[in-house]
Structure 1
Amino acid sequence: MKKILTWALVLPLTASVMLSSCKKDDDDIPTTPTPVNNPVKGKTLIGKATSDSAEIDIRVYADEALFVGYNKIYVMLYEKGSDKQIMKAEVSYDPMMSMSGGMNHSCPIENPDMTAPKDGLFEGAIVFVMPTTAMDGWTLGIRVHNLVNSKEGSAEMSVTVIEPTDARMYSFVSPVDSKKIFISMLEPAKPEVGMNDFVVTAHFKESAMNWPALEDLHIEFEPYMPTMGHGSPNNVNPVHMKDGHYQGVVNFTMSGLWQLFMTIKDNQDVVLDDANSFYLNF
Protein backbone atom coordinates (compact mmCIF):
# COMPACT_ATOMS: atom_id res chain seq x y z
CA MET A 1 0.00 0.00 0.00
CA LYS A 2 2.88 2.36 0.84
CA LYS A 3 4.54 1.64 -2.56
CA ILE A 4 1.34 2.44 -4.42
CA LEU A 5 0.97 5.69 -2.51
CA THR A 6 4.59 6.65 -3.15
CA TRP A 7 4.25 6.15 -6.92
CA ALA A 8 1.01 8.10 -6.92
CA LEU A 9 2.89 11.07 -5.47
CA VAL A 10 6.00 10.75 -7.66
CA LEU A 11 4.28 10.47 -11.05
CA PRO A 12 2.48 13.86 -10.96
CA LEU A 13 5.65 15.51 -9.68
CA THR A 14 7.72 14.02 -12.53
CA ALA A 15 5.16 15.09 -15.12
CA SER A 16 5.20 18.60 -13.69
CA VAL A 17 8.99 18.78 -13.94
CA MET A 18 8.92 17.46 -17.54
CA LEU A 19 6.28 19.99 -18.57
CA SER A 20 8.22 22.80 -16.95
CA SER A 21 11.39 21.68 -18.73
CA CYS A 22 9.60 21.53 -22.10
CA LYS A 23 8.18 25.01 -21.59
CA LYS A 24 11.64 26.35 -20.77
CA ASP A 25 13.09 24.70 -23.89
CA ASP A 26 10.32 26.24 -26.02
CA ASP A 27 11.12 29.67 -24.58
CA ASP A 28 14.77 29.21 -25.55
CA ILE A 29 13.95 28.62 -29.25
CA PRO A 30 14.91 31.83 -31.13
CA THR A 31 12.05 33.42 -33.03
CA THR A 32 12.49 34.58 -36.63
CA PRO A 33 12.69 38.39 -36.64
CA THR A 34 10.00 40.23 -38.56
CA PRO A 35 11.53 41.53 -41.83
CA VAL A 36 12.03 45.29 -41.82
CA ASN A 37 10.78 46.99 -44.97
CA ASN A 38 13.53 49.03 -46.60
CA PRO A 39 11.84 51.34 -49.15
CA VAL A 40 15.13 52.49 -50.68
CA LYS A 41 16.59 49.00 -51.21
CA GLY A 42 17.87 48.83 -54.79
CA LYS A 43 17.60 52.59 -55.26
CA THR A 44 20.48 55.02 -55.84
CA LEU A 45 21.24 57.78 -53.34
CA ILE A 46 21.45 61.00 -55.35
CA GLY A 47 22.36 63.38 -52.54
CA LYS A 48 21.76 64.74 -49.05
CA ALA A 49 21.01 68.26 -47.85
CA THR A 50 19.61 70.12 -44.85
CA SER A 51 16.98 72.82 -44.61
CA ASP A 52 17.76 74.75 -41.43
CA SER A 53 14.62 76.88 -41.64
CA ALA A 54 12.36 73.81 -41.95
CA GLU A 55 14.51 71.84 -39.48
CA ILE A 56 14.68 68.91 -41.90
CA ASP A 57 17.39 66.62 -43.25
CA ILE A 58 16.68 65.61 -46.85
CA ARG A 59 17.78 62.50 -48.72
CA VAL A 60 17.07 62.10 -52.43
CA TYR A 61 16.96 58.76 -54.28
CA ALA A 62 16.32 57.55 -57.83
CA ASP A 63 15.94 54.13 -59.46
CA GLU A 64 19.39 54.55 -61.06
CA ALA A 65 21.92 57.26 -61.86
CA LEU A 66 20.14 60.33 -63.24
CA PHE A 67 19.90 60.40 -67.05
CA VAL A 68 18.51 62.53 -69.86
CA GLY A 69 14.83 61.60 -69.88
CA TYR A 70 12.12 60.75 -67.33
CA ASN A 71 13.51 59.98 -63.84
CA LYS A 72 11.42 59.00 -60.83
CA ILE A 73 12.64 60.95 -57.81
CA TYR A 74 12.10 59.82 -54.20
CA VAL A 75 12.59 62.05 -51.15
CA MET A 76 12.94 60.93 -47.52
CA LEU A 77 12.66 63.53 -44.75
CA TYR A 78 14.09 63.37 -41.24
CA GLU A 79 14.02 65.65 -38.23
CA LYS A 80 17.25 67.62 -38.37
CA GLY A 81 20.11 65.74 -36.75
CA SER A 82 18.10 62.56 -36.06
CA ASP A 83 16.88 59.37 -37.70
CA LYS A 84 13.22 60.11 -36.96
CA GLN A 85 11.32 60.30 -40.25
CA ILE A 86 8.87 63.07 -41.02
CA MET A 87 5.71 61.60 -42.46
CA LYS A 88 3.67 64.77 -43.04
CA ALA A 89 5.05 67.39 -45.42
CA GLU A 90 4.59 69.09 -48.77
CA VAL A 91 7.53 68.56 -51.13
CA SER A 92 8.35 70.14 -54.49
CA TYR A 93 11.34 70.00 -56.87
CA ASP A 94 13.36 72.82 -58.39
CA PRO A 95 15.89 71.47 -60.93
CA MET A 96 18.11 74.07 -62.55
CA MET A 97 20.68 73.92 -65.35
CA SER A 98 23.39 76.60 -65.14
CA MET A 99 24.81 77.19 -68.60
CA SER A 100 28.35 78.43 -69.23
CA GLY A 101 26.96 81.37 -71.23
CA GLY A 102 25.03 82.64 -68.22
CA MET A 103 21.63 81.27 -69.28
CA ASN A 104 19.76 79.12 -66.75
CA HIS A 105 16.76 76.90 -67.36
CA SER A 106 14.65 74.28 -65.63
CA CYS A 107 12.91 71.21 -67.14
CA PRO A 108 9.61 69.29 -66.85
CA ILE A 109 8.76 68.17 -63.31
CA GLU A 110 6.06 66.14 -61.57
CA ASN A 111 5.97 67.14 -57.92
CA PRO A 112 4.86 64.60 -55.29
CA ASP A 113 1.08 64.80 -54.98
CA MET A 114 0.89 63.48 -51.45
CA THR A 115 1.42 64.94 -48.00
CA ALA A 116 1.76 61.47 -46.42
CA PRO A 117 4.49 59.51 -48.22
CA LYS A 118 4.17 55.93 -49.41
CA ASP A 119 6.55 53.76 -47.37
CA GLY A 120 8.22 56.95 -46.21
CA LEU A 121 8.98 58.15 -49.74
CA PHE A 122 7.65 61.32 -51.37
CA GLU A 123 7.60 60.27 -55.04
CA GLY A 124 7.62 62.51 -58.11
CA ALA A 125 9.58 62.79 -61.35
CA ILE A 126 11.95 65.03 -63.28
CA VAL A 127 12.52 65.00 -67.05
CA PHE A 128 16.11 66.13 -67.51
CA VAL A 129 16.47 67.60 -71.00
CA MET A 130 20.26 67.65 -71.32
CA PRO A 131 23.28 66.02 -69.67
CA THR A 132 25.80 67.49 -67.30
CA THR A 133 28.93 68.67 -69.13
CA ALA A 134 32.31 70.07 -68.13
CA MET A 135 30.88 73.59 -68.51
CA ASP A 136 27.17 73.14 -67.75
CA GLY A 137 25.77 71.64 -64.55
CA TRP A 138 22.51 70.72 -62.83
CA THR A 139 21.44 71.52 -59.30
CA LEU A 140 18.38 70.06 -57.62
CA GLY A 141 16.49 72.20 -55.14
CA ILE A 142 14.01 70.59 -52.74
CA ARG A 143 11.35 72.78 -51.17
CA VAL A 144 9.66 71.47 -48.03
CA HIS A 145 6.72 72.58 -45.92
CA ASN A 146 7.08 70.65 -42.68
CA LEU A 147 3.50 69.99 -41.59
CA VAL A 148 4.70 68.70 -38.22
CA ASN A 149 6.12 72.04 -37.06
CA SER A 150 4.56 74.27 -39.76
CA LYS A 151 8.00 75.49 -40.85
CA GLU A 152 9.10 75.88 -44.47
CA GLY A 153 12.44 75.88 -46.21
CA SER A 154 14.54 74.57 -49.07
CA ALA A 155 17.89 72.97 -49.75
CA GLU A 156 19.98 72.49 -52.86
CA MET A 157 22.44 69.89 -54.11
CA SER A 158 24.55 69.43 -57.21
CA VAL A 159 23.57 66.40 -59.30
CA THR A 160 25.08 64.68 -62.33
CA VAL A 161 22.91 63.77 -65.33
CA ILE A 162 24.31 61.33 -67.90
CA GLU A 163 23.40 60.66 -71.53
CA PRO A 164 22.24 57.01 -71.65
CA THR A 165 23.63 54.63 -74.28
CA ASP A 166 20.16 54.19 -75.79
CA ALA A 167 18.31 57.51 -75.84
CA ARG A 168 15.16 57.59 -73.70
CA MET A 169 14.10 61.05 -74.83
CA TYR A 170 14.16 63.09 -78.03
CA SER A 171 13.01 66.57 -78.98
CA PHE A 172 11.86 68.42 -82.07
CA VAL A 173 10.43 71.80 -83.05
CA SER A 174 6.78 71.85 -84.07
CA PRO A 175 6.30 73.09 -87.66
CA VAL A 176 2.89 74.46 -86.65
CA ASP A 177 3.72 76.81 -83.74
CA SER A 178 7.51 76.42 -83.25
CA LYS A 179 7.11 74.81 -79.82
CA LYS A 180 10.05 72.68 -78.76
CA ILE A 181 8.51 69.34 -77.79
CA PHE A 182 10.12 66.59 -75.69
CA ILE A 183 9.04 62.94 -75.91
CA SER A 184 10.30 60.57 -73.18
CA MET A 185 9.92 56.79 -73.04
CA LEU A 186 9.09 55.32 -69.61
CA GLU A 187 8.04 51.79 -70.49
CA PRO A 188 9.06 49.17 -71.28
CA ALA A 189 11.91 49.66 -68.82
CA LYS A 190 12.62 45.91 -68.91
CA PRO A 191 11.35 44.67 -72.28
CA GLU A 192 10.55 41.01 -72.81
CA VAL A 193 9.19 38.81 -75.58
CA GLY A 194 5.42 39.29 -75.82
CA MET A 195 3.11 42.16 -75.01
CA ASN A 196 4.64 45.09 -73.10
CA ASP A 197 3.21 48.35 -71.80
CA PHE A 198 4.43 51.22 -73.95
CA VAL A 199 4.37 54.52 -72.04
CA VAL A 200 5.72 57.90 -73.15
CA THR A 201 5.37 61.44 -71.86
CA ALA A 202 5.11 64.68 -73.84
CA HIS A 203 6.14 68.16 -72.67
CA PHE A 204 7.02 71.45 -74.33
CA LYS A 205 9.21 74.40 -73.42
CA GLU A 206 6.95 77.38 -72.78
CA SER A 207 9.73 79.40 -71.17
CA ALA A 208 13.06 78.75 -69.49
CA MET A 209 11.27 77.99 -66.21
CA ASN A 210 7.94 76.55 -67.41
CA TRP A 211 7.68 73.17 -69.17
CA PRO A 212 4.01 72.07 -69.29
CA ALA A 213 2.70 68.65 -70.28
CA LEU A 214 1.10 68.20 -73.71
CA GLU A 215 -2.19 66.36 -73.34
CA ASP A 216 -3.80 66.51 -76.79
CA LEU A 217 -1.32 64.76 -79.08
CA HIS A 218 -2.03 61.80 -81.34
CA ILE A 219 0.87 59.35 -81.09
CA GLU A 220 1.54 56.46 -83.45
CA PHE A 221 4.43 54.03 -83.57
CA GLU A 222 5.68 51.05 -85.55
CA PRO A 223 8.07 48.44 -84.12
CA TYR A 224 10.68 47.06 -86.53
CA MET A 225 13.65 44.69 -86.25
CA PRO A 226 16.34 46.21 -88.50
CA THR A 227 18.53 43.10 -88.30
CA MET A 228 15.68 40.74 -89.23
CA GLY A 229 13.61 42.94 -91.56
CA HIS A 230 10.19 42.50 -89.93
CA GLY A 231 7.81 44.18 -87.50
CA SER A 232 5.16 42.76 -85.20
CA PRO A 233 1.34 42.57 -85.00
CA ASN A 234 -1.23 43.62 -82.39
CA ASN A 235 0.43 46.83 -81.22
CA VAL A 236 -1.73 49.54 -79.64
CA ASN A 237 -0.94 53.23 -80.16
CA PRO A 238 -0.51 55.23 -76.93
CA VAL A 239 -3.45 57.39 -75.82
CA HIS A 240 -3.39 60.15 -73.24
CA MET A 241 -4.02 59.01 -69.67
CA LYS A 242 -3.05 61.89 -67.37
CA ASP A 243 -0.54 64.73 -67.04
CA GLY A 244 1.07 64.17 -70.44
CA HIS A 245 1.41 60.40 -69.98
CA TYR A 246 0.38 58.30 -73.00
CA GLN A 247 -0.05 54.53 -72.71
CA GLY A 248 -0.26 51.79 -75.34
CA VAL A 249 1.06 48.28 -75.99
CA VAL A 250 4.08 47.07 -77.95
CA ASN A 251 4.47 43.44 -79.03
CA PHE A 252 7.98 42.01 -79.30
CA THR A 253 7.84 38.68 -81.12
CA MET A 254 11.47 37.84 -80.36
CA SER A 255 14.48 39.21 -78.51
CA GLY A 256 17.06 41.39 -80.24
CA LEU A 257 17.34 44.98 -81.48
CA TRP A 258 14.02 46.75 -82.01
CA GLN A 259 13.45 50.19 -83.50
CA LEU A 260 10.21 52.00 -82.61
CA PHE A 261 9.40 54.49 -85.38
CA MET A 262 7.48 57.37 -83.81
CA THR A 263 4.91 59.67 -85.41
CA ILE A 264 3.65 62.64 -83.41
CA LYS A 265 0.54 64.53 -84.57
CA ASP A 266 -1.42 67.43 -83.12
CA ASN A 267 -5.11 67.21 -82.26
CA GLN A 268 -5.97 68.04 -85.89
CA ASP A 269 -3.88 65.06 -87.10
CA VAL A 270 -1.22 67.33 -88.56
CA VAL A 271 2.13 65.53 -88.45
CA LEU A 272 4.51 67.39 -86.15
CA ASP A 273 7.36 64.90 -86.34
CA ASP A 274 7.99 61.47 -87.88
CA ALA A 275 11.79 61.46 -88.04
CA ASN A 276 12.62 60.01 -84.61
CA SER A 277 12.77 56.54 -83.08
CA PHE A 278 13.40 54.74 -79.81
CA TYR A 279 15.71 51.71 -79.76
CA LEU A 280 15.48 48.72 -77.44
CA ASN A 281 17.93 45.81 -77.42
CA PHE A 282 17.26 42.81 -75.17
Structure 2
Amino acid sequence: MKTIKFYTLTILIAVLFTACSESNDDPIVIDENPLAAFNLLSSFEANNHTVEVYSKQNQYTIGYNELFFRIKDNGTDSYISDASLTMTPMMHMEMMSHSCPKSTISNTKEASVYKGFSIFQMPGNATEYWELGLEYSFGGQTYNLAERIEVKAPADGKKRVNVFTGADENRYVLAMMPMKPEVAVNDFSAMLFKMENMMTFPVAEGYTIEIDPRMPGMGNHSSPNNQNLTFDASNNMYKGKLSLTMTGYWKINLKVKDASGALLKGEDVTEENEASSLYFEMEF
Protein backbone atom coordinates (compact mmCIF):
# COMPACT_ATOMS: atom_id res chain seq x y z
CA MET A 1 0.00 0.00 0.00
CA LYS A 2 2.82 2.35 0.87
CA THR A 3 4.49 1.44 -2.44
CA ILE A 4 1.36 2.38 -4.37
CA LYS A 5 1.13 5.72 -2.56
CA PHE A 6 4.79 6.40 -3.25
CA TYR A 7 4.44 5.74 -6.98
CA THR A 8 1.27 7.83 -7.12
CA LEU A 9 3.05 10.76 -5.47
CA THR A 10 6.03 10.36 -7.82
CA ILE A 11 3.79 10.44 -10.90
CA LEU A 12 1.93 13.51 -9.61
CA ILE A 13 5.17 15.42 -9.03
CA ALA A 14 6.41 14.45 -12.49
CA VAL A 15 3.19 15.71 -14.11
CA LEU A 16 3.35 18.99 -12.22
CA PHE A 17 7.02 19.47 -13.10
CA THR A 18 6.33 18.76 -16.77
CA ALA A 19 3.40 21.20 -16.82
CA CYS A 20 5.50 23.93 -15.21
CA SER A 21 8.37 23.29 -17.62
CA GLU A 22 6.06 23.52 -20.64
CA SER A 23 4.50 26.71 -19.28
CA ASN A 24 7.92 28.30 -18.76
CA ASP A 25 8.95 27.36 -22.27
CA ASP A 26 6.00 29.25 -23.80
CA PRO A 27 7.16 32.53 -25.41
CA ILE A 28 6.02 35.71 -23.67
CA VAL A 29 4.47 37.98 -26.29
CA ILE A 30 5.23 41.64 -25.65
CA ASP A 31 3.97 44.50 -27.81
CA GLU A 32 7.26 46.37 -28.04
CA ASN A 33 5.77 49.29 -29.93
CA PRO A 34 2.32 50.54 -28.88
CA LEU A 35 2.35 52.77 -31.97
CA ALA A 36 2.89 49.95 -34.45
CA ALA A 37 -0.46 50.70 -36.11
CA PHE A 38 0.54 54.33 -36.70
CA ASN A 39 2.83 55.85 -39.34
CA LEU A 40 6.43 56.71 -38.41
CA LEU A 41 6.95 60.21 -39.82
CA SER A 42 10.42 60.93 -38.41
CA SER A 43 13.21 59.25 -36.49
CA PHE A 44 15.79 61.69 -35.13
CA GLU A 45 19.20 60.66 -33.75
CA ALA A 46 20.58 63.07 -31.16
CA ASN A 47 22.13 63.06 -27.66
CA ASN A 48 22.57 59.27 -27.83
CA HIS A 49 18.78 59.03 -28.13
CA THR A 50 16.35 58.19 -30.93
CA VAL A 51 13.26 60.40 -30.96
CA GLU A 52 10.40 58.93 -33.00
CA VAL A 53 7.40 60.90 -34.28
CA TYR A 54 4.24 59.04 -35.30
CA SER A 55 0.86 60.01 -36.73
CA LYS A 56 -2.33 58.44 -38.02
CA GLN A 57 -1.56 60.40 -41.20
CA ASN A 58 1.20 59.29 -43.53
CA GLN A 59 2.84 62.73 -43.76
CA TYR A 60 3.17 66.08 -42.04
CA THR A 61 0.42 68.04 -43.76
CA ILE A 62 -1.09 71.51 -43.93
CA GLY A 63 -3.69 71.85 -41.19
CA TYR A 64 -4.18 69.84 -38.02
CA ASN A 65 -1.60 67.15 -37.21
CA GLU A 66 -1.93 64.96 -34.12
CA LEU A 67 1.58 63.74 -33.30
CA PHE A 68 2.85 60.98 -30.99
CA PHE A 69 6.41 60.82 -29.61
CA ARG A 70 8.70 58.14 -28.17
CA ILE A 71 12.28 58.57 -26.88
CA LYS A 72 14.68 55.64 -26.90
CA ASP A 73 17.87 55.58 -24.86
CA ASN A 74 20.30 54.08 -27.38
CA GLY A 75 22.67 53.03 -24.61
CA THR A 76 20.14 50.76 -22.92
CA ASP A 77 17.91 50.18 -25.98
CA SER A 78 14.88 51.07 -23.84
CA TYR A 79 12.16 53.70 -24.12
CA ILE A 80 11.85 56.55 -21.64
CA SER A 81 8.63 56.66 -19.65
CA ASP A 82 9.15 59.66 -17.37
CA ALA A 83 10.09 62.46 -19.78
CA SER A 84 8.61 65.92 -20.25
CA LEU A 85 8.60 67.37 -23.78
CA THR A 86 7.92 70.64 -25.57
CA MET A 87 7.95 71.26 -29.31
CA THR A 88 8.59 74.33 -31.41
CA PRO A 89 7.85 73.97 -35.12
CA MET A 90 9.55 76.70 -37.17
CA MET A 91 8.97 77.71 -40.77
CA HIS A 92 12.20 79.14 -42.23
CA MET A 93 11.34 81.46 -45.09
CA GLU A 94 13.72 83.49 -47.24
CA MET A 95 12.94 86.77 -45.46
CA MET A 96 11.69 85.64 -42.04
CA SER A 97 10.85 82.72 -39.75
CA HIS A 98 7.70 81.94 -37.80
CA SER A 99 6.09 79.18 -35.75
CA CYS A 100 2.49 77.93 -35.81
CA PRO A 101 -0.36 76.98 -33.45
CA LYS A 102 0.67 74.03 -31.34
CA SER A 103 -0.22 72.26 -28.11
CA THR A 104 1.71 71.21 -25.07
CA ILE A 105 2.88 67.58 -25.18
CA SER A 106 1.15 65.36 -22.64
CA ASN A 107 1.40 61.79 -21.37
CA THR A 108 -0.83 59.00 -22.63
CA LYS A 109 -2.03 55.71 -21.18
CA GLU A 110 1.14 54.15 -22.61
CA ALA A 111 4.00 55.18 -20.33
CA SER A 112 6.53 55.63 -23.16
CA VAL A 113 4.17 57.52 -25.51
CA TYR A 114 3.54 61.28 -25.48
CA LYS A 115 1.17 63.27 -27.71
CA GLY A 116 0.40 66.77 -28.93
CA PHE A 117 -0.68 68.60 -32.07
CA SER A 118 0.65 71.14 -34.52
CA ILE A 119 -1.23 73.15 -37.16
CA PHE A 120 0.97 73.92 -40.15
CA GLN A 121 -0.23 76.90 -42.20
CA MET A 122 1.73 76.23 -45.38
CA PRO A 123 3.85 73.58 -47.10
CA GLY A 124 7.60 73.67 -47.40
CA ASN A 125 9.58 73.78 -50.64
CA ALA A 126 13.18 73.56 -51.79
CA THR A 127 14.22 76.88 -50.21
CA GLU A 128 11.61 77.41 -47.46
CA TYR A 129 11.15 74.61 -44.98
CA TRP A 130 9.77 73.54 -41.60
CA GLU A 131 12.00 72.52 -38.74
CA LEU A 132 10.72 70.62 -35.70
CA GLY A 133 12.44 71.68 -32.49
CA LEU A 134 12.09 69.45 -29.43
CA GLU A 135 13.22 69.97 -25.84
CA TYR A 136 12.89 66.99 -23.55
CA SER A 137 13.94 66.26 -19.98
CA PHE A 138 14.30 63.17 -17.83
CA GLY A 139 16.65 61.95 -15.12
CA GLY A 140 17.46 65.52 -14.14
CA GLN A 141 18.89 66.46 -17.56
CA THR A 142 17.50 68.47 -20.47
CA TYR A 143 18.20 67.77 -24.13
CA ASN A 144 17.47 69.61 -27.37
CA LEU A 145 17.24 68.77 -31.03
CA ALA A 146 16.00 70.52 -34.18
CA GLU A 147 15.48 68.64 -37.43
CA ARG A 148 14.06 69.54 -40.81
CA ILE A 149 10.70 68.00 -41.69
CA GLU A 150 8.74 67.95 -44.93
CA VAL A 151 5.25 69.45 -44.68
CA LYS A 152 3.05 68.79 -47.72
CA ALA A 153 -0.34 69.81 -48.99
CA PRO A 154 -3.09 67.25 -48.28
CA ALA A 155 -3.03 64.36 -50.72
CA ASP A 156 -6.59 65.13 -51.82
CA GLY A 157 -5.82 68.84 -52.32
CA LYS A 158 -8.74 69.95 -50.13
CA LYS A 159 -8.56 73.08 -47.98
CA ARG A 160 -8.59 72.44 -44.22
CA VAL A 161 -6.94 75.58 -42.84
CA ASN A 162 -7.43 79.32 -43.33
CA VAL A 163 -4.98 82.07 -42.40
CA PHE A 164 -6.58 85.50 -42.51
CA THR A 165 -6.51 89.06 -41.21
CA GLY A 166 -9.77 90.00 -39.51
CA ALA A 167 -11.61 93.30 -39.55
CA ASP A 168 -9.97 93.96 -36.17
CA GLU A 169 -6.58 93.79 -37.96
CA ASN A 170 -5.54 90.71 -36.00
CA ARG A 171 -4.12 87.69 -37.75
CA TYR A 172 -5.96 84.35 -37.27
CA VAL A 173 -5.49 80.67 -38.05
CA LEU A 174 -8.67 78.60 -38.47
CA ALA A 175 -8.28 74.81 -38.84
CA MET A 176 -10.84 72.08 -39.44
CA MET A 177 -10.59 69.06 -37.17
CA PRO A 178 -10.35 65.59 -38.76
CA MET A 179 -13.65 63.86 -39.42
CA LYS A 180 -15.19 61.02 -41.43
CA PRO A 181 -18.12 62.64 -43.26
CA GLU A 182 -21.34 60.71 -43.79
CA VAL A 183 -24.67 61.40 -45.42
CA ALA A 184 -26.13 62.59 -42.13
CA VAL A 185 -25.98 65.45 -39.67
CA ASN A 186 -22.32 65.17 -38.62
CA ASP A 187 -20.51 66.45 -35.57
CA PHE A 188 -18.26 69.20 -36.92
CA SER A 189 -15.44 71.03 -35.15
CA ALA A 190 -12.61 73.49 -35.74
CA MET A 191 -9.93 75.36 -33.83
CA LEU A 192 -9.33 79.11 -33.99
CA PHE A 193 -6.10 80.84 -32.96
CA LYS A 194 -5.08 84.50 -32.79
CA MET A 195 -1.52 85.33 -33.80
CA GLU A 196 0.13 87.54 -31.16
CA ASN A 197 3.57 87.45 -32.79
CA MET A 198 5.66 85.13 -34.95
CA MET A 199 5.96 82.60 -32.14
CA THR A 200 2.73 82.85 -30.15
CA PHE A 201 -0.72 81.64 -31.24
CA PRO A 202 -3.16 81.50 -28.30
CA VAL A 203 -6.62 79.99 -28.69
CA ALA A 204 -9.26 82.60 -29.65
CA GLU A 205 -12.12 82.07 -27.17
CA GLY A 206 -15.80 82.97 -27.29
CA TYR A 207 -16.15 83.61 -31.02
CA THR A 208 -18.75 82.12 -33.40
CA ILE A 209 -18.03 80.34 -36.67
CA GLU A 210 -21.03 80.34 -38.98
CA ILE A 211 -21.21 77.60 -41.61
CA ASP A 212 -23.05 77.35 -44.92
CA PRO A 213 -22.24 74.08 -46.73
CA ARG A 214 -22.77 74.10 -50.50
CA MET A 215 -22.34 71.71 -53.43
CA PRO A 216 -20.90 73.84 -56.27
CA GLY A 217 -21.34 71.01 -58.79
CA MET A 218 -25.03 70.60 -57.91
CA GLY A 219 -26.40 74.11 -58.37
CA ASN A 220 -24.63 75.30 -55.22
CA HIS A 221 -27.45 73.92 -53.07
CA SER A 222 -27.14 73.93 -49.29
CA SER A 223 -28.53 71.56 -46.62
CA PRO A 224 -30.87 71.76 -43.63
CA ASN A 225 -30.25 71.39 -39.89
CA ASN A 226 -26.75 72.85 -39.73
CA GLN A 227 -25.57 74.36 -36.46
CA ASN A 228 -22.97 77.10 -36.23
CA LEU A 229 -19.79 76.36 -34.30
CA THR A 230 -19.52 77.74 -30.77
CA PHE A 231 -16.66 77.59 -28.31
CA ASP A 232 -16.25 74.60 -25.99
CA ALA A 233 -13.85 75.58 -23.19
CA SER A 234 -13.36 71.94 -22.12
CA ASN A 235 -11.19 71.22 -25.16
CA ASN A 236 -10.64 74.68 -26.74
CA MET A 237 -12.56 73.67 -29.86
CA TYR A 238 -15.49 75.15 -31.76
CA LYS A 239 -18.27 72.60 -32.18
CA GLY A 240 -21.43 72.44 -34.25
CA LYS A 241 -23.36 70.26 -36.70
CA LEU A 242 -22.73 69.80 -40.42
CA SER A 243 -25.56 68.43 -42.56
CA LEU A 244 -24.45 66.53 -45.68
CA THR A 245 -27.37 65.33 -47.79
CA MET A 246 -25.43 63.40 -50.44
CA THR A 247 -21.94 62.23 -51.35
CA GLY A 248 -19.70 64.40 -53.52
CA TYR A 249 -17.72 67.62 -53.25
CA TRP A 250 -18.77 70.11 -50.56
CA LYS A 251 -17.50 73.61 -49.85
CA ILE A 252 -18.13 74.66 -46.24
CA ASN A 253 -18.48 78.44 -46.43
CA LEU A 254 -17.49 80.22 -43.22
CA LYS A 255 -18.01 83.50 -41.40
CA VAL A 256 -16.11 84.30 -38.19
CA LYS A 257 -17.60 86.68 -35.65
CA ASP A 258 -15.99 87.86 -32.42
CA ALA A 259 -17.52 87.66 -28.94
CA SER A 260 -19.51 90.88 -29.53
CA GLY A 261 -20.97 89.52 -32.79
CA ALA A 262 -18.85 91.74 -35.05
CA LEU A 263 -17.96 90.11 -38.38
CA LEU A 264 -14.21 89.51 -38.67
CA LYS A 265 -14.07 87.67 -41.98
CA GLY A 266 -16.31 85.86 -44.46
CA GLU A 267 -19.32 86.65 -46.61
CA ASP A 268 -22.86 85.41 -47.15
CA VAL A 269 -23.47 83.07 -50.07
CA THR A 270 -25.98 84.64 -52.49
CA GLU A 271 -26.90 84.38 -56.15
CA GLU A 272 -24.35 87.10 -56.85
CA ASN A 273 -21.70 85.70 -54.47
CA GLU A 274 -21.29 81.93 -54.83
CA ALA A 275 -18.75 81.42 -52.03
CA SER A 276 -17.24 83.00 -48.96
CA SER A 277 -13.57 83.97 -48.94
CA LEU A 278 -13.26 81.66 -45.90
CA TYR A 279 -14.08 77.99 -46.45
CA PHE A 280 -13.19 74.36 -45.85
CA GLU A 281 -13.50 71.60 -48.45
CA MET A 282 -14.32 67.91 -48.37
CA GLU A 283 -15.29 65.16 -50.80
CA PHE A 284 -16.57 61.72 -49.93
State whether TM-score is above 0.5: yes
Asked whether the 8 Å contact 1:145–1:151 carries over to 2, the reply is: yes
Q: Report the alpha carbon displacement of residue 39 of structure 1 after superposing the two structures with TM.
A: 2.7
Q: Would you say 1:181 and 2:172 are equivalent positions?
A: yes
Amino acid paired to 2:52 = R
Correspondent of 1:125 among 108, 113, 117: 117
The answer to whether the 8 A contact 2:206-2:230 is kept is no
Q: 1:92 aligned to 86, 107, 125, which one? A: 86
Tell me which residue corresponds to 1:145: 137
Separation of aligned partners in 2, 1:187 and 1:247: 12
Alignment of 1:13-162 (within 5 A): 36=31, 38-52=33-47, 56-64=49-57, 65-101=59-95, 103-112=96-105, 114=106, 116-119=107-110, 120-146=112-138, 149-162=139-152
**Pairing 1:247–2:249 present:** no
Separation of aligned partners in 2, 1:210 and 1:254? 40
Matches of 2:145 and 2:39, distance apart in 1: 19
Instruction: Give CA-to-partner distance per residue, 1:159-193, whole Å, 9 cap, x none.
Output: 00112210110121111x211111100132x2122
Where does structure 2 lack aligned partners over 5 or more consecutive residues?
A: 1-6, 267-275
Shift of 1:28: 7.3
- Checking the alignment, whether the CA contact within 8 Å between 2:64 and 2:178 is kept in structure 1 is no
**What TM-score do the two structures reach when normalised by structure 1?**
0.81
Looking at structure 1, the residues matched to 216 and 33 of structure 2 have their Cα atoms a distance apart, in angstroms, of 42
Whether contact under 8 Å (1:47, 1:157) holds in the other structure is no
Consecutive unaligned residues of structure 1, counting only runs of 5 or more, are 1-12
Q: Deviations over 1:177-216 (max 9, x none)?
A: 211111100132x212223221101112211111211112
> Rg larger in 1 or in 2?
1
Q: Find runs of 4+ consecutive structure 1 residues off by over 6 angstroms.
A: 27-33
Q: 1:260 aligns with which of 234, 252, 256?
A: 252
Asked if structure 1 preserves the Cα contact closer than 8 Å seen for 2:103 and 2:118, the reply is: yes
1:201-212 paired onto structure 2 within 5 Å:
201-212=191-202
Q: Distance in 1 between matches of 2:189 and 2:264?
A: 19
CA distance in 2, matches of 1:207, 1:156: 21
Aligned-partner Cα distance in 1 for 2:181–2:32: 27
Residue of structure 1 in register with 2:224 after alignment: 233
In structure 2, how many angstroms separate the alpha carbons of the residues matched to 1:222 and 1:34? Answer: 52
CA shift at 1:117, angstroms?
3.4
Change (3 A) 1:33 1:50: closer
When the two structures are aligned, how many residues end up with a matched partner?
A: 264
User: How many angstroms apart in 2 are the aligned matches of 1:95 and 1:236?
Assistant: 33
Give the TM-score of the pair, scaled to structure 2: 0.81
Secondary structure in structure 1 of the residue aligned to 2:127: coil
**SS class of match (2:109):** coil
Shift of 1:51: 4.4
Residue in structure 1 matching 2:153, options 144, 160, 163: 163
1-side partners of 2:163 and 2:209: how far apart? 14
Does the CA-based 8 Å contact 1:87-1:117 persist in structure 2?
A: no
Specify whether residues 168 and 42 from structure 1 end up closer, same or farther in structure 2 by C-alpha distance, changes over 3 A only.
Answer: farther
**8 Å contact 1:107–1:127 — kept in the other structure?**
yes
Question: In the alignment, which residue of structure 1 is the partner of 2:209?
Answer: 219
Preserved contact between residue 57 and residue 81 of structure 1 (Cα < 8 Å):
no
Q: Distance in 1 between matches of 2:18 and 2:246?
A: 61
The Cα of 1:90 is off from its aligned counterpart by 0.9
